């Protein structure tokens, strides 16, 4: 079997094993191990030993559990719950009202990277009762929460960027900064859509008239999350701190706010520890599996052969990326998004690099593809989370239909980024030392 055939066969085998429900991380680790040992015997085990130590003690990856811990602290201490109220008071009067609140809140919430189920569940739980009470149409409400919940992995800090950076040797700091403009633009486009569709359909809903003074007073609830966000992103942007350092500063700042606000308790900490350990364990196991698989692909030459094969078609940058949108759209319908990302980077990154695509830009591209995967059925995690929160017992097709406009916006937005890559690369290029 040629290396290309072996690679394609291996990839399909892997996807099938994942789809029938075997643990993603173990599938990658064991397939990599079997392939590597078939080619090199014990020598592969020995080289993978140093890769395993290198990966599991890599300082850059240390930021993953730290950012997860930061997210859990902010979420479980209730800091995020109060943010919803502020957005409701300020955005509730726009056409589309509280639907904007969902998007705005999700965008700011993105500054936390705890469990994504926890994030979507929180926003959904606090938002749905108000939406229902004020007569918002169900589909649109559910769709805005499911779609808003995807913004978290694009707006920094984002675990997906840390892993992408580590797998491709790309600066995590720059990836974080690169996510800001597209993340805000995408949130803005979601809000434009809500505005336009509400005006066109003459959506008429009740809203709470909050006096201006009260609205200003409410802004104090944004101070804490904005300071934490400012510390994390500011220290990265100015080059003062690495990802791990900025995460640590964020954790300490978050903890100070929790203690100062009288919200500190042992049970809160225990909760945060348990869920951040769990989330980190899931992620790190997948990362280790992906590194072993990656090693097997590169040592056996399969990765290189596949790259050569793919580049031999002579696709230009634009057609290659359009093809990848279709590839990720389909894969994202069926796969867990983080797994999709780590399983495909070893194959797609070398190909797009050879086509001259900027590695930072591609990081943003792949994360938007992951976002898309979160709301495309049949396996779109956010769809199920949002469906799980509603109490009216309606069908999941409501959530799916409500999310479709947002999925279309994401795809169109990606095409805009392909045409204007500067939207992504502009801000990180301004960074110090860039």
Partner 1 sequence: MKRLEGIAATLFGLAFLLLSFAVAVETIGRKVFNVSLQGVDELGGYVLAVGSAMAMLVALAGRAHVRIDLLHDLMPRSLRILLNSISIFAIALSAVVLVRMAHIAWSDSISYNSTAQTPWATPLKYPQGLWLASLALFALFACVLAAKLIASLARGDFEGIDRDFSPKGTKDELAEELEDIQARGAVAQATLPGSAKP
Among 102, 113, 122, 403, binds partner 1 (CB under 8 A): 122
- How many residues are given for the chain? 434
Cα distances (Å, whole numbers) of residue 258 to 225, 275, 377: 11, 18, 38
**What percent helix, strand, coil does the chain show, rounded to 5?**
80, 0, 20
213 burial type by CB count under 10 A (0-12 exposed, 13-18 middle, 19+ buried): exposed
CB 51 within 8 A of CB 189: no
CB 423 within 8 A of CB 417: yes
Three-state helix/strand/coil letters over 261-324? CCCCCHHHHHHHHHHHHHHHHHHHHHHHHHHHHHHHHHHCCHHHHHHHHHHCCCCCHHHHHHHH
- The tokens 């947002």 sit on which residue? 406
**Shortest distance, position 226 Cβ to partner 1, whole Å:** 17
User: Is 378 a residue that touches partner 1 (CB under 8 A)?
Assistant: yes
Among 117, 138, 305, 315, binds partner 1 (CB under 8 A): 117
Angle formed by the axes of helices 243-260 and 172-200, to 10°? 60
User: Is 125 a residue that touches partner 1 (CB under 8 A)?
Assistant: yes
Query: Which 329-348 positions form the footprint of partner 1 (CB under 8 A)?
Result: 334-336, 338-339
If the CB atoms of residues 215 and 317 are measured against partner 1, the closer one turns out to be 215
What binding mask, one character per residue, do residues 215-254 give for partner 1 by CB under 8 A, x or -? --------------------x----xx--xx-xxx-xx--
**Shortest distance, position 70 Cβ to partner 1, whole Å:** 8
**Shortest distance, position 3 Cβ to partner 1, whole Å:** 24
Candidate ranges 147-155, 179-187, 267-275, 315-323; the one touching partner 1 (CB under 8 A): 267-275
If the CB atoms of residues 271 and 353 are measured against partner 1, the closer one turns out to be 271
CB 421 within 8 A of CB 429: no
Candidate ranges 140-148, 194-202, 273-281, 357-365; the one touching partner 1 (CB under 8 A): 273-281
CB 354 within 8 A of CB 304: no
Candidate ranges 74-82, 144-152, 298-306, 316-324; the one touching partner 1 (CB under 8 A): 74-82
CB 250 within 8 A of CB 176: no
Q: Which residues, at least 6 apart from 79, have a Cβ–Cβ distance to it below 8 Å?
A: 224, 225, 254, 257, 258
* H-helix segments, 201-265: 212-218, 220-237, 243-260
**Shortest distance, position 408 Cβ to partner 1, whole Å:** 23
Among 39, 94, 184, 210, binds partner 1 (CB under 8 A): 210
What single-letter DSSP state applies at residue 328? H
Among 35, 65, 405, 428, binds partner 1 (CB under 8 A): 65
If the CB atoms of residues 81 and 304 are measured against partner 1, the closer one turns out to be 81
Query: Which 24-53 positions form the footprint of partner 1 (CB under 8 A)?
Result: 24-27, 29-30, 33, 45-46, 48-50, 52-53
User: Is 20 a residue that touches partner 1 (CB under 8 A)?
Assistant: yes
Query: Which 274-293 positions form the footprint of partner 1 (CB under 8 A)?
Result: 274, 276-282, 284-286, 288-289
User: Is 304 a residue that touches partner 1 (CB under 8 A)?
Assistant: no
């Amino acid at each position: 079997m040629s290396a290309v055939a072996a690679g394609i066969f291996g990839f399909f085998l892997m996807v099938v094993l994942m789809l029938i429900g075997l643990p993603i991380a173990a599938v990658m680790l064991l397939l990599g191990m079997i392939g590597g040992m078939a080619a090199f015997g014990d020598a592969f085990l020995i080289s993978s030993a140093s890769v395993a130590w290198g990966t599991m003690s890599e300082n850059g990856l240390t930021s993953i559990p730290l950012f997860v811990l930061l997210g859990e602290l902010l979420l479980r201490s209730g800091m995020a719950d109060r943010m919803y109220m502020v957005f409701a008071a300020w955005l509730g009067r726009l056409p589309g009202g509280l639907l904007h609140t969902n998007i705005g809140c999700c965008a700011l919430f993105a500054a936390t990277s705890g469990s994504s189920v926890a994030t979507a569940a929180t926003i959904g739980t606090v938002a749905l009762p108000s939406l229902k009470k004020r007569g918002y149409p169900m589909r649109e409400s559910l769709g805005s929460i499911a779609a808003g919940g995807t913004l978290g992995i694009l707006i920094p800090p984002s675990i997906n960027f840390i892993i992408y950076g580590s797998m491709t040797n790309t600066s995590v700091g720059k990836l974080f900064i690169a996510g800001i403009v597209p993340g805000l633009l995408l949130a803005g486009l979601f809000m434009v859509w809500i505005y336009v569709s509400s005006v066109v359909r003459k959506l008429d809903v009740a809203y709470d008239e909050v006096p201006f003074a009260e609205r200003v007073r409410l802004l104090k609830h944004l101070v804490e999350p904005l300071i934490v966000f400012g510390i994390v992103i500011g220290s990265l942007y100015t080059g003062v701190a690495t990802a791990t350092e900025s995460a640590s500063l964020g954790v300490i700042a978050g903890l100070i706010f929790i203690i100062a606000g009288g919200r500190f308790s042992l049970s809160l900490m225990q909760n945060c520890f348990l869920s951040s350990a769990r989330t980190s364990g899931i992620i790190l196991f997948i990362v280790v599996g992906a590194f072993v698989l990656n090693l097997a692909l590169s040592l056996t030459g399969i990765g290189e052969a596949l790259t050569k094969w793919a580049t031999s078609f002579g696709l230009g940058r634009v057609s290659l990326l359009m093809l990848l949108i279709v590839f990720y759209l389909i894969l994202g319908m069926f796969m867990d998004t983080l797994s999709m990302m780590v399983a495909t980077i070893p194959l797609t990154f070398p190909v797009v690099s050879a086509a001259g695509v900027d590695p930072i830009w591609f990081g943003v591209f792949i994360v938007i593809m992951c976002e898309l995967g979160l709301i495309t059925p049949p396996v779109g995690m956010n769809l199920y989370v949002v469906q799980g929160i509603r109490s009216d017992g309606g069908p999941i097709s409501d959530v799916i239909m409500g999310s479709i406009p947002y999925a279309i916006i994401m795809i169109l937005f990606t095409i805009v980024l392909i045409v204007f890559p500067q939207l992504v690369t502009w801000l990180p290029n301004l960074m110090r030392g860039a």
